[in-house]
Amino acid sequence: MASRKLPILVVAGVGRGGGTGGATARLFAKNGYRVAVLARNADQLNAFAESIKADGGEAAPFPVETYTHDSMKATFSSIKHAWPDSEIRAALWNVGPGVFKNFLDVTEDDIKTIVDTNIVGAFAFARETILAFKDTEPNELGKRGTLIFTGATAAIRGNTYTSAFAAGKHGVRALSQSLAKEFGKQNIHVAHSIIDGAIRTDRADKEKAADPNAALNPDSIAKAYLALANQDSSAFTWELDLRPAHEKW
């Protein structure tokens, strides 16, 4: 039976709102979702949530200091209490620190950052998301919810300077595949997106960002994510890869 409750999208990792997480939050808000945004910088997060509301959407900020199991459990509880008449139906894990160094220059702190985010954090976020999905009934698409992980080329291929970064991204990809196989049978959709190329943000290379063939538009990535959320249970995508037309691959 289709649920009549309003759907919630939970996005972890929106930064200042100019990248993939921010674009996804804005697009889902325009398509009827209430949006819960998670990030470490409370001031930036509050400003971003206000910008969504100014455009007519519904959004609430949930600042987090860490992505531990206790933190994610408390945050998801707060989201449910904020909107008791709604259900978490979509979630995006878009957190991923960039550690790009020669192998012998990678520090123990670098490794801890990679593990805390891509293993501990991703596991904790996924656990709370799936528990929330299991509390719902399949909707008109025959699914309980959609969990998306933003990945990178490093998830399938290591390279110079990416020993630490690739290790983390490989872990996220393996986690997403395992969850897709385990929970697909319960009508829970888990997907992984390989972002192969630079993303057009205010921090990107200006020349590359100005060329629509050379850098990914975060709004276009968001459209692909909304399409994943709109897939019905007869045809779930586990993995897609997105790249600009002129990207070498």
pLDDT digits (tens, 9 = 90+) for 116-127: 999 999 999 999
Q: Which of 7-11, 41-45, 74-78 has the least mean pLDDT?
A: 41-45
Residue 142 has pLDDT above 90, yes or no: yes
- Going by pLDDT thresholds of 50, 70 and 90, the confidence category of residue 81 is very high
pLDDT of residue 217: 93
Q: Measured between alpha carbons, how far is 199 from 20 in angstroms, rounded to an integer?
A: 8
Q: pLDDT tens digits, residue range 204-237?
A: 566 666 788 888 999 999 999 999 999 999 999 9
Give the global pTM.
Answer: 0.94
- Going by pLDDT thresholds of 50, 70 and 90, the confidence category of residue 202 is low
What number is the average pLDDT over the span 106-132? 96
What number is the average pLDDT over the span 137-144? 97
